[in-house]
Structure 1
Amino acid sequence: MRVPIVAGNWKMNNTISESLTLISEIKEQNLNENVETVVAVPYTSLSEVKKVLEGTNIKLAAQNMHWEDKGAFTGEVSPLMLKEIGVDYCIIGHSERRKYFNEIDETVNKKIESALNNNIKPIVCVGETLEERESGREEEIVGRQILKGLQDIDKKSVKDIIIAYEPIWAIGTGKTASSNDANKMCSFIRKTIADKYGEEIKESIRIQYGGSVKPNNIRELMNKDNIDGALVGGASLRAEDFIKIVNY
Protein backbone atom coordinates (compact mmCIF):
# COMPACT_ATOMS: atom_id res chain seq x y z
CA MET A 1 0.00 0.00 0.00
CA ARG A 2 1.60 3.24 -1.15
CA VAL A 3 1.12 6.15 1.24
CA PRO A 4 -0.12 9.25 -0.62
CA ILE A 5 2.28 12.20 -0.51
CA VAL A 6 1.38 15.87 -1.08
CA ALA A 7 4.25 18.35 -1.23
CA GLY A 8 3.87 22.11 -1.43
CA ASN A 9 6.60 23.85 -3.43
CA TRP A 10 6.70 27.48 -2.31
CA LYS A 11 9.35 28.33 -4.94
CA MET A 12 10.92 31.80 -4.57
CA ASN A 13 8.14 33.14 -2.37
CA ASN A 14 7.81 34.16 1.28
CA THR A 15 10.25 35.92 3.56
CA ILE A 16 11.01 34.24 6.88
CA SER A 17 8.14 36.04 8.61
CA GLU A 18 5.74 35.20 5.77
CA SER A 19 6.89 31.59 5.85
CA LEU A 20 6.24 31.35 9.57
CA THR A 21 2.76 32.81 9.17
CA LEU A 22 1.87 30.35 6.42
CA ILE A 23 3.28 27.26 8.12
CA SER A 24 1.54 28.19 11.37
CA GLU A 25 -1.79 28.39 9.53
CA ILE A 26 -1.20 24.99 7.95
CA LYS A 27 0.01 23.41 11.19
CA GLU A 28 -3.07 24.52 13.13
CA GLN A 29 -5.47 22.60 10.88
CA ASN A 30 -6.43 18.95 11.06
CA LEU A 31 -4.53 17.34 8.21
CA ASN A 32 -5.33 13.90 6.86
CA GLU A 33 -3.06 11.55 8.82
CA ASN A 34 -3.15 9.04 5.97
CA VAL A 35 -1.40 11.53 3.67
CA GLU A 36 2.27 12.40 4.04
CA THR A 37 2.48 16.20 3.98
CA VAL A 38 5.64 18.01 2.88
CA VAL A 39 6.50 21.71 2.50
CA ALA A 40 9.41 22.84 0.31
CA VAL A 41 10.34 26.29 1.54
CA PRO A 42 13.08 28.78 0.51
CA TYR A 43 16.56 28.23 1.93
CA THR A 44 16.32 31.27 4.20
CA SER A 45 13.22 29.88 5.91
CA LEU A 46 14.24 26.24 6.31
CA SER A 47 15.71 26.47 9.80
CA GLU A 48 12.89 28.58 11.26
CA VAL A 49 10.14 26.51 9.66
CA LYS A 50 11.78 23.33 10.97
CA LYS A 51 11.39 24.65 14.53
CA VAL A 52 7.67 25.22 13.99
CA LEU A 53 7.24 21.71 12.57
CA GLU A 54 8.73 19.97 15.61
CA GLY A 55 6.15 17.59 17.05
CA THR A 56 4.07 17.49 13.86
CA ASN A 57 3.89 14.95 11.05
CA ILE A 58 4.66 17.59 8.40
CA LYS A 59 7.97 16.96 6.64
CA LEU A 60 10.42 19.62 5.45
CA ALA A 61 11.94 19.83 1.96
CA ALA A 62 14.53 22.00 0.26
CA GLN A 63 13.95 23.10 -3.33
CA ASN A 64 17.42 22.25 -4.63
CA MET A 65 20.93 21.28 -3.48
CA HIS A 66 24.47 20.86 -4.78
CA TRP A 67 25.89 17.37 -5.10
CA GLU A 68 29.17 18.15 -3.30
CA ASP A 69 29.37 18.22 0.50
CA LYS A 70 31.50 21.40 0.46
CA GLY A 71 33.79 23.40 -1.78
CA ALA A 72 34.26 26.48 -3.93
CA PHE A 73 30.72 26.66 -5.26
CA THR A 74 29.65 30.22 -4.50
CA GLY A 75 25.94 30.59 -3.86
CA GLU A 76 25.25 26.86 -3.56
CA VAL A 77 23.91 24.87 -0.60
CA SER A 78 25.26 21.43 0.25
CA PRO A 79 23.47 18.31 1.49
CA LEU A 80 25.39 18.54 4.78
CA MET A 81 23.92 22.00 5.38
CA LEU A 82 20.41 20.71 4.69
CA LYS A 83 20.96 17.61 6.81
CA GLU A 84 22.04 19.68 9.82
CA ILE A 85 18.78 21.67 9.64
CA GLY A 86 16.80 18.42 9.57
CA VAL A 87 15.55 18.51 5.99
CA ASP A 88 13.69 15.32 5.05
CA TYR A 89 13.27 15.78 1.28
CA CYS A 90 14.80 17.75 -1.56
CA ILE A 91 13.23 18.59 -4.91
CA ILE A 92 15.68 17.71 -7.67
CA GLY A 93 15.47 18.46 -11.39
CA HIS A 94 12.45 20.75 -11.31
CA SER A 95 11.66 22.05 -14.79
CA GLU A 96 12.36 25.61 -13.67
CA ARG A 97 15.85 24.51 -12.63
CA ARG A 98 16.30 22.80 -15.98
CA LYS A 99 14.97 25.78 -17.95
CA TYR A 100 16.52 28.75 -16.15
CA PHE A 101 19.64 27.27 -14.53
CA ASN A 102 20.84 24.73 -17.10
CA GLU A 103 20.05 21.67 -14.98
CA ILE A 104 20.67 18.54 -17.04
CA ASP A 105 20.07 14.84 -16.50
CA GLU A 106 23.70 14.27 -15.52
CA THR A 107 23.61 16.86 -12.70
CA VAL A 108 20.21 15.56 -11.62
CA ASN A 109 21.81 12.14 -11.29
CA LYS A 110 24.67 13.49 -9.17
CA LYS A 111 22.24 15.31 -6.87
CA ILE A 112 20.04 12.22 -6.44
CA GLU A 113 23.04 10.10 -5.49
CA SER A 114 24.31 12.75 -3.07
CA ALA A 115 20.92 13.22 -1.44
CA LEU A 116 20.52 9.49 -0.89
CA ASN A 117 24.03 9.24 0.57
CA ASN A 118 23.04 11.92 3.08
CA ASN A 119 19.67 10.39 4.03
CA ILE A 120 17.70 13.09 2.22
CA LYS A 121 14.88 11.70 0.10
CA PRO A 122 14.81 13.10 -3.45
CA ILE A 123 11.62 14.29 -5.13
CA VAL A 124 12.75 13.85 -8.73
CA CYS A 125 10.89 15.91 -11.33
CA VAL A 126 10.36 14.77 -14.91
CA GLY A 127 8.17 16.13 -17.67
CA GLU A 128 7.85 17.21 -21.27
CA THR A 129 7.24 20.53 -23.01
CA LEU A 130 4.09 21.23 -25.04
CA GLU A 131 6.10 20.94 -28.25
CA GLU A 132 7.45 17.54 -27.22
CA ARG A 133 3.96 16.31 -26.35
CA GLU A 134 2.41 17.57 -29.56
CA SER A 135 5.13 15.82 -31.55
CA GLY A 136 4.37 12.54 -29.75
CA ARG A 137 7.74 12.41 -27.95
CA GLU A 138 6.51 12.70 -24.36
CA GLU A 139 7.35 9.11 -23.40
CA GLU A 140 10.76 9.34 -25.08
CA ILE A 141 11.59 12.51 -23.12
CA VAL A 142 10.29 11.33 -19.75
CA GLY A 143 11.82 7.88 -20.16
CA ARG A 144 15.21 9.41 -20.88
CA GLN A 145 14.98 11.73 -17.87
CA ILE A 146 14.21 8.78 -15.59
CA LEU A 147 16.89 6.43 -16.92
CA LYS A 148 19.63 9.07 -16.97
CA GLY A 149 18.55 10.58 -13.68
CA LEU A 150 18.59 7.19 -11.96
CA GLN A 151 21.74 5.90 -13.63
CA ASP A 152 23.79 3.77 -11.23
CA ILE A 153 21.23 4.25 -8.43
CA ASP A 154 20.85 0.80 -6.88
CA LYS A 155 17.65 -1.07 -6.16
CA LYS A 156 18.00 -0.67 -2.41
CA SER A 157 18.23 3.13 -2.65
CA VAL A 158 15.56 3.78 -5.26
CA LYS A 159 12.77 2.91 -2.84
CA ASP A 160 13.40 6.23 -1.07
CA ILE A 161 12.87 8.26 -4.23
CA ILE A 162 9.66 10.07 -5.10
CA ILE A 163 9.06 10.77 -8.79
CA ALA A 164 7.02 13.83 -9.69
CA TYR A 165 5.56 13.94 -13.19
CA GLU A 166 5.18 17.60 -14.10
CA PRO A 167 4.22 18.33 -17.70
CA ILE A 168 6.07 21.59 -18.25
CA TRP A 169 3.21 23.08 -20.22
CA ALA A 170 0.94 22.76 -17.16
CA ILE A 171 3.19 24.42 -14.55
CA GLY A 172 1.89 27.80 -13.49
CA THR A 173 -0.27 28.10 -16.61
CA GLY A 174 -3.62 27.15 -15.16
CA LYS A 175 -3.67 24.21 -17.58
CA THR A 176 -3.82 20.73 -16.12
CA ALA A 177 -3.24 17.46 -17.89
CA SER A 178 -6.46 15.48 -17.87
CA SER A 179 -6.55 12.91 -15.10
CA ASN A 180 -6.44 10.19 -17.75
CA ASP A 181 -3.40 11.71 -19.47
CA ALA A 182 -1.63 12.16 -16.12
CA ASN A 183 -2.40 8.60 -15.10
CA LYS A 184 -1.25 7.26 -18.45
CA MET A 185 2.14 8.95 -18.09
CA CYS A 186 2.47 7.85 -14.46
CA SER A 187 1.72 4.32 -15.66
CA PHE A 188 4.49 4.65 -18.25
CA ILE A 189 6.86 5.88 -15.53
CA ARG A 190 5.96 2.88 -13.40
CA LYS A 191 6.63 0.54 -16.33
CA THR A 192 10.00 2.21 -16.92
CA ILE A 193 10.85 1.64 -13.26
CA ALA A 194 9.73 -1.99 -13.54
CA ASP A 195 11.98 -2.59 -16.55
CA LYS A 196 14.96 -1.21 -14.62
CA TYR A 197 14.30 -2.40 -11.06
CA GLY A 198 11.62 -5.09 -11.17
CA GLU A 199 7.99 -5.50 -10.15
CA GLU A 200 8.48 -5.04 -6.41
CA ILE A 201 9.97 -1.54 -6.83
CA LYS A 202 7.38 -0.72 -9.48
CA GLU A 203 4.60 -1.38 -6.99
CA SER A 204 6.22 0.46 -4.08
CA ILE A 205 7.64 3.62 -5.66
CA ARG A 206 5.46 6.70 -5.25
CA ILE A 207 4.67 8.92 -8.22
CA GLN A 208 3.21 12.39 -7.84
CA TYR A 209 1.48 14.58 -10.40
CA GLY A 210 2.33 18.27 -10.54
CA GLY A 211 1.02 21.04 -12.75
CA SER A 212 -1.68 23.49 -11.65
CA VAL A 213 -3.02 21.15 -8.95
CA LYS A 214 -5.92 22.79 -7.13
CA PRO A 215 -8.61 21.84 -4.61
CA ASN A 216 -11.11 21.33 -7.43
CA ASN A 217 -9.04 18.75 -9.36
CA ILE A 218 -7.07 16.89 -6.68
CA ARG A 219 -9.71 14.26 -5.93
CA GLU A 220 -10.08 13.24 -9.57
CA LEU A 221 -6.30 12.95 -9.90
CA MET A 222 -5.95 10.94 -6.69
CA ASN A 223 -8.64 8.51 -7.79
CA LYS A 224 -6.30 7.26 -10.53
CA ASP A 225 -4.43 4.07 -9.73
CA ASN A 226 -0.95 5.25 -10.71
CA ILE A 227 -1.03 8.69 -9.06
CA ASP A 228 0.14 8.64 -5.45
CA GLY A 229 0.13 12.34 -4.64
CA ALA A 230 0.76 15.85 -5.85
CA LEU A 231 3.57 18.37 -6.09
CA VAL A 232 1.68 21.61 -5.58
CA GLY A 233 2.92 25.02 -6.69
CA GLY A 234 0.79 28.17 -6.46
CA ALA A 235 -1.99 26.59 -4.41
CA SER A 236 0.50 25.71 -1.66
CA LEU A 237 0.99 29.43 -0.95
CA ARG A 238 -2.58 29.66 0.33
CA ALA A 239 -3.10 27.72 3.53
CA GLU A 240 -6.79 27.10 2.87
CA ASP A 241 -6.16 25.68 -0.61
CA PHE A 242 -3.20 23.54 0.45
CA ILE A 243 -5.14 22.07 3.36
CA LYS A 244 -8.02 21.18 1.03
CA ILE A 245 -5.58 19.42 -1.29
CA VAL A 246 -4.01 17.42 1.55
CA ASN A 247 -7.49 16.52 2.83
CA TYR A 248 -8.83 15.60 -0.60
Structure 2
Amino acid sequence: MPRRKLIAGNWKMNTTRAEAVTLAKAVAAGVGASPACDVAVIPPFPWLVPVADALAGTAVALGAQDVYSETKGAFTGEVSPGMLLEVGCKYTLVGHSERRHVIGETDAATNQKVHAALEAGLHVILCIGETLAERERNLQERVFQRQVYAACAGLTDEQFARLIFAYEPVWAIGTGKVATPELAQEAHKNIRARMGMLYGDNIAAALPILYGGSLTGESAPGLFAQPDIDGGLVGGASLKADAFLKIVAAAG
Protein backbone atom coordinates (compact mmCIF):
# COMPACT_ATOMS: atom_id res chain seq x y z
CA MET A 1 0.00 0.00 0.00
CA PRO A 2 1.49 3.38 -1.01
CA ARG A 3 2.45 5.72 1.81
CA ARG A 4 0.28 8.87 1.83
CA LYS A 5 2.28 12.06 1.80
CA LEU A 6 2.12 14.59 4.64
CA ILE A 7 2.99 18.28 4.44
CA ALA A 8 3.35 19.84 7.90
CA GLY A 9 4.12 23.52 8.47
CA ASN A 10 6.22 24.27 11.55
CA TRP A 11 5.69 27.94 12.37
CA LYS A 12 8.32 27.86 15.15
CA MET A 13 8.29 31.00 17.38
CA ASN A 14 6.57 33.21 14.82
CA THR A 15 3.18 34.91 14.22
CA THR A 16 0.90 36.99 16.37
CA ARG A 17 -2.50 35.56 17.31
CA ALA A 18 -4.20 37.45 14.48
CA GLU A 19 -1.53 36.37 11.97
CA ALA A 20 -1.85 32.74 13.08
CA VAL A 21 -5.62 32.69 12.60
CA THR A 22 -5.39 34.41 9.21
CA LEU A 23 -2.68 32.02 8.04
CA ALA A 24 -4.58 28.94 9.22
CA LYS A 25 -7.75 30.05 7.44
CA ALA A 26 -5.85 30.77 4.22
CA VAL A 27 -4.16 27.36 4.29
CA ALA A 28 -7.48 25.59 4.92
CA ALA A 29 -9.18 27.49 2.10
CA GLY A 30 -6.35 26.71 -0.30
CA VAL A 31 -6.21 23.03 0.61
CA GLY A 32 -9.93 22.45 0.06
CA ALA A 33 -12.09 19.61 1.30
CA SER A 34 -10.27 16.63 -0.22
CA PRO A 35 -6.53 17.23 -0.58
CA ALA A 36 -4.39 14.63 -2.31
CA CYS A 37 -2.06 14.54 0.71
CA ASP A 38 -2.39 15.06 4.45
CA VAL A 39 -1.78 18.63 5.62
CA ALA A 40 -1.04 19.97 9.09
CA VAL A 41 -0.03 23.29 10.64
CA ILE A 42 2.06 23.49 13.81
CA PRO A 43 1.71 26.88 15.52
CA PRO A 44 3.28 28.09 18.78
CA PHE A 45 1.61 26.81 21.95
CA PRO A 46 -0.32 30.03 22.76
CA TRP A 47 -2.10 29.93 19.39
CA LEU A 48 -3.19 26.27 19.43
CA VAL A 49 -6.74 27.05 20.58
CA PRO A 50 -7.51 29.90 18.15
CA VAL A 51 -5.91 27.99 15.28
CA ALA A 52 -7.91 24.88 16.20
CA ASP A 53 -11.07 27.01 16.03
CA ALA A 54 -10.01 28.39 12.64
CA LEU A 55 -9.41 24.87 11.30
CA ALA A 56 -12.63 23.33 12.65
CA GLY A 57 -14.43 21.39 9.94
CA THR A 58 -11.53 21.67 7.46
CA ALA A 59 -9.14 19.08 6.05
CA VAL A 60 -6.11 20.64 7.80
CA ALA A 61 -4.90 18.97 11.00
CA LEU A 62 -3.32 20.66 14.01
CA GLY A 63 0.06 19.84 15.51
CA ALA A 64 2.20 20.97 18.44
CA GLN A 65 5.89 21.86 18.37
CA ASP A 66 6.78 19.79 21.43
CA VAL A 67 5.29 17.70 24.24
CA TYR A 68 6.31 16.64 27.72
CA SER A 69 6.77 13.05 28.86
CA GLU A 70 4.48 13.19 31.92
CA THR A 71 0.69 13.28 32.08
CA LYS A 72 0.45 15.91 34.84
CA GLY A 73 2.29 17.26 37.85
CA ALA A 74 4.77 19.88 39.02
CA PHE A 75 6.46 20.52 35.67
CA THR A 76 6.30 24.27 35.27
CA GLY A 77 6.19 25.41 31.66
CA GLU A 78 5.55 21.98 30.17
CA VAL A 79 2.54 20.71 28.20
CA SER A 80 1.24 17.14 28.47
CA PRO A 81 0.04 14.87 25.64
CA GLY A 82 -3.48 14.94 27.06
CA MET A 83 -3.56 18.73 26.97
CA LEU A 84 -2.57 18.68 23.31
CA LEU A 85 -5.28 16.17 22.48
CA GLU A 86 -7.87 18.22 24.34
CA VAL A 87 -7.19 21.34 22.29
CA GLY A 88 -7.46 19.34 19.06
CA CYS A 89 -3.92 18.30 18.15
CA LYS A 90 -3.43 15.22 16.00
CA TYR A 91 0.36 15.54 15.71
CA THR A 92 3.29 16.61 17.83
CA LEU A 93 6.89 17.17 16.87
CA VAL A 94 9.49 15.38 19.00
CA GLY A 95 13.26 15.76 18.80
CA HIS A 96 13.37 18.75 16.48
CA SER A 97 16.96 19.77 15.77
CA GLU A 98 16.43 23.06 17.60
CA ARG A 99 15.24 21.16 20.68
CA ARG A 100 18.32 18.92 20.46
CA HIS A 101 21.01 21.45 19.55
CA VAL A 102 19.68 24.74 20.99
CA ILE A 103 17.68 23.57 24.01
CA GLY A 104 19.94 20.59 24.72
CA GLU A 105 17.46 17.71 24.76
CA THR A 106 19.00 14.24 24.99
CA ASP A 107 18.16 11.06 23.10
CA ALA A 108 16.77 9.65 26.36
CA ALA A 109 14.37 12.59 26.76
CA THR A 110 13.28 12.17 23.15
CA ASN A 111 12.46 8.51 23.77
CA GLN A 112 10.37 9.39 26.83
CA LYS A 113 8.42 11.98 24.86
CA VAL A 114 7.83 9.59 21.96
CA HIS A 115 6.42 6.97 24.33
CA ALA A 116 4.20 9.43 26.22
CA ALA A 117 2.77 10.98 23.06
CA LEU A 118 2.07 7.67 21.32
CA GLU A 119 0.57 6.12 24.44
CA ALA A 120 -1.82 9.07 24.69
CA GLY A 121 -2.94 8.64 21.07
CA LEU A 122 -1.03 11.41 19.31
CA HIS A 123 0.79 10.92 16.03
CA VAL A 124 4.49 11.73 16.48
CA ILE A 125 6.66 13.44 13.89
CA LEU A 126 10.09 12.36 15.08
CA CYS A 127 12.91 14.56 13.78
CA ILE A 128 16.36 13.11 13.09
CA GLY A 129 19.37 14.35 11.15
CA GLU A 130 23.04 15.15 11.13
CA THR A 131 24.92 18.40 11.69
CA LEU A 132 27.36 19.84 9.16
CA ALA A 133 30.32 18.62 11.24
CA GLU A 134 28.87 15.09 11.36
CA ARG A 135 28.25 15.09 7.63
CA GLU A 136 31.75 16.34 6.84
CA ARG A 137 33.12 13.41 8.88
CA ASN A 138 30.79 11.01 7.02
CA LEU A 139 29.02 10.08 10.26
CA GLN A 140 25.44 10.53 9.07
CA GLU A 141 24.55 6.81 9.03
CA ARG A 142 25.94 6.41 12.55
CA VAL A 143 23.86 9.41 13.65
CA PHE A 144 20.73 7.90 12.07
CA GLN A 145 21.27 4.61 13.89
CA ARG A 146 21.86 6.27 17.26
CA GLN A 147 18.89 8.62 16.99
CA VAL A 148 16.50 6.02 15.58
CA TYR A 149 17.44 3.31 18.06
CA ALA A 150 17.34 5.68 21.03
CA ALA A 151 14.02 7.30 20.11
CA CYS A 152 12.16 4.11 19.15
CA ALA A 153 13.37 1.73 21.85
CA GLY A 154 10.45 -0.14 23.39
CA LEU A 155 7.75 0.81 20.90
CA THR A 156 5.04 -1.67 19.91
CA ASP A 157 3.99 -2.42 16.33
CA GLU A 158 0.74 -0.51 16.93
CA GLN A 159 2.67 2.54 18.08
CA PHE A 160 4.88 2.46 14.99
CA ALA A 161 1.70 2.92 12.93
CA ARG A 162 1.39 6.46 14.38
CA LEU A 163 5.07 7.36 13.99
CA ILE A 164 6.40 9.59 11.22
CA PHE A 165 10.05 10.48 10.68
CA ALA A 166 11.26 13.86 9.50
CA TYR A 167 14.81 13.87 8.16
CA GLU A 168 16.40 17.21 8.97
CA PRO A 169 19.82 17.81 7.48
CA VAL A 170 20.69 20.31 10.22
CA TRP A 171 23.17 22.04 7.94
CA ALA A 172 20.27 22.97 5.61
CA ILE A 173 17.83 24.39 8.18
CA GLY A 174 17.41 28.14 7.94
CA THR A 175 20.40 28.43 5.62
CA GLY A 176 18.55 28.27 2.32
CA LYS A 177 20.65 25.24 1.42
CA VAL A 178 18.73 22.17 0.29
CA ALA A 179 20.05 18.68 -0.11
CA THR A 180 19.77 17.64 -3.74
CA PRO A 181 16.96 15.16 -4.42
CA GLU A 182 19.61 12.48 -4.82
CA LEU A 183 21.30 13.25 -1.49
CA ALA A 184 17.96 13.46 0.30
CA GLN A 185 16.81 10.18 -1.24
CA GLU A 186 20.04 8.49 -0.18
CA ALA A 187 19.49 9.64 3.40
CA HIS A 188 15.84 8.56 3.45
CA LYS A 189 16.74 5.19 1.94
CA ASN A 190 19.42 4.68 4.60
CA ILE A 191 17.00 5.58 7.38
CA ARG A 192 14.43 3.12 6.03
CA ALA A 193 17.08 0.42 5.71
CA ARG A 194 18.18 1.06 9.30
CA MET A 195 14.56 0.74 10.45
CA GLY A 196 14.29 -2.55 8.57
CA MET A 197 17.37 -3.90 10.32
CA LEU A 198 16.11 -2.82 13.74
CA TYR A 199 12.37 -3.41 13.52
CA GLY A 200 11.60 -5.45 10.40
CA ASP A 201 10.82 -4.78 6.76
CA ASN A 202 7.06 -4.35 7.24
CA ILE A 203 7.47 -1.48 9.71
CA ALA A 204 10.20 0.10 7.59
CA ALA A 205 8.12 -0.07 4.40
CA ALA A 206 5.09 1.55 6.04
CA LEU A 207 7.01 4.34 7.81
CA PRO A 208 6.50 7.80 6.30
CA ILE A 209 9.72 9.81 6.13
CA LEU A 210 9.39 13.55 5.52
CA TYR A 211 12.13 15.86 4.27
CA GLY A 212 12.76 18.86 6.51
CA GLY A 213 15.56 21.09 5.27
CA SER A 214 14.60 24.55 3.91
CA LEU A 215 11.93 23.07 1.66
CA THR A 216 10.39 25.42 -0.92
CA GLY A 217 7.85 25.22 -3.71
CA GLU A 218 10.73 25.18 -6.19
CA SER A 219 12.62 22.30 -4.57
CA ALA A 220 9.57 20.26 -3.59
CA PRO A 221 8.69 18.55 -6.91
CA GLY A 222 12.14 17.02 -7.35
CA LEU A 223 12.28 15.88 -3.74
CA PHE A 224 8.77 14.43 -3.68
CA ALA A 225 9.47 12.44 -6.84
CA GLN A 226 11.97 10.32 -4.90
CA PRO A 227 10.67 6.89 -3.81
CA ASP A 228 11.54 7.22 -0.11
CA ILE A 229 10.48 10.85 0.44
CA ASP A 230 6.93 10.99 1.75
CA GLY A 231 6.30 14.71 2.12
CA GLY A 232 7.85 17.56 4.04
CA LEU A 233 8.26 19.31 7.35
CA VAL A 234 8.22 22.92 6.19
CA GLY A 235 9.77 25.80 8.13
CA GLY A 236 10.03 29.33 6.75
CA ALA A 237 7.88 28.66 3.69
CA SER A 238 4.97 27.64 5.94
CA LEU A 239 4.60 31.23 7.21
CA LYS A 240 3.15 32.38 3.88
CA ALA A 241 0.03 30.61 2.70
CA ASP A 242 0.87 30.84 -1.01
CA ALA A 243 4.37 29.42 -0.53
CA PHE A 244 3.09 26.61 1.69
CA LEU A 245 0.25 25.73 -0.67
CA LYS A 246 2.70 25.47 -3.54
CA ILE A 247 4.51 22.76 -1.58
CA VAL A 248 1.20 21.04 -0.82
CA ALA A 249 0.36 21.08 -4.53
CA ALA A 250 3.70 19.44 -5.34
CA ALA A 251 2.80 16.52 -3.08
CA GLY A 252 -0.58 15.92 -4.76
Bin the TM-score by the shorter chain.
over 0.9
Instruction: Return the offset for 1:245.
Output: 0.3
Superimposed CA distance per residue, residues 143-188 of structure 1 (whole angstroms, 9 cap, x where no aligned partner): 1100101011122211210000001000000001111111101001
* Alignment partners' CA distance in 2, 1:192 and 1:168: 19
Deviates more, 1:152-161 or 1:234-243: 152-161
Tell me the secondary structure at the aligned position of residue 61 of structure 1. Answer: strand
- Corresponding residue for residue 209 of structure 1: 211
What is the identity percentage for the equivalent residue pairs of Structure 1 and Structure 2?
41
Paired AA for residue 181 in structure 2 = S
How many residues are matched? 248
Pairing 1:102–2:104 present: yes
Deviates more, 1:21-30 or 1:78-87: 21-30
Instruction: Return the offset for 1:223.
Output: 0.2
- Corresponding residue for residue 187 of structure 2: 185
* Alignment partners' CA distance in 2, 1:95 and 1:35: 25
- Corresponding residue for residue 22 of structure 1: 23
- Corresponding residue for residue 232 of structure 2: 230
Tell me the secondary structure at the aligned position of residue 121 of structure 2. Answer: coil
Paired AA for residue 144 in structure 2 = V
Structure 2: segments with no counterpart, 5+ residues? none
1:117-156 matched pairs, under 5 angstroms: 117-156=119-158
Q: What's the C-alpha RMSD, in Å, of the aligned pairs?
A: 1.0
Paired AA for residue 107 in structure 1 = A
* Alignment partners' CA distance in 2, 1:166 and 1:231: 9
* Alignment partners' CA distance in 2, 1:128 and 1:18: 32
Superimposed CA distance per residue, residues 94-117 of structure 1 (whole angstroms, 9 cap, x where no aligned partner): 000011211111010000000011
* Alignment partners' CA distance in 2, 1:213 and 1:238: 13
Instruction: Return the offset for 1:29.
Output: 1.5
* Alignment partners' CA distance in 2, 1:154 and 1:175: 36
Pairing 1:241–2:243 present: yes
1:32-111 matched pairs, under 5 angstroms: 33-111=35-113
Distance 1:151 1:30, change over 3 A: closer
Q: TM-score, normalised by structure 2?
A: 0.96
Pairing 1:5–2:18 present: no
Deviates more, 1:189-198 or 1:115-124: 189-198
Instruction: Return the offset for 1:17.
Output: 1.1
Instruction: Return the offset for 1:206.
Output: 0.2
Tell me the secondary structure at the aligned position of residue 76 of structure 1. Answer: coil
Instruction: Return the offset for 1:193.
Output: 1.1
Paired AA for residue 19 in structure 1 = A
* Alignment partners' CA distance in 1, 2:29 and 2:6: 19
Tell me the secondary structure at the aligned position of residue 58 of structure 2. Answer: coil
Structure 1: segments with no counterpart, 5+ residues? none
* Alignment partners' CA distance in 2, 1:222 and 1:242: 14
Paired AA for residue 10 in structure 1 = W
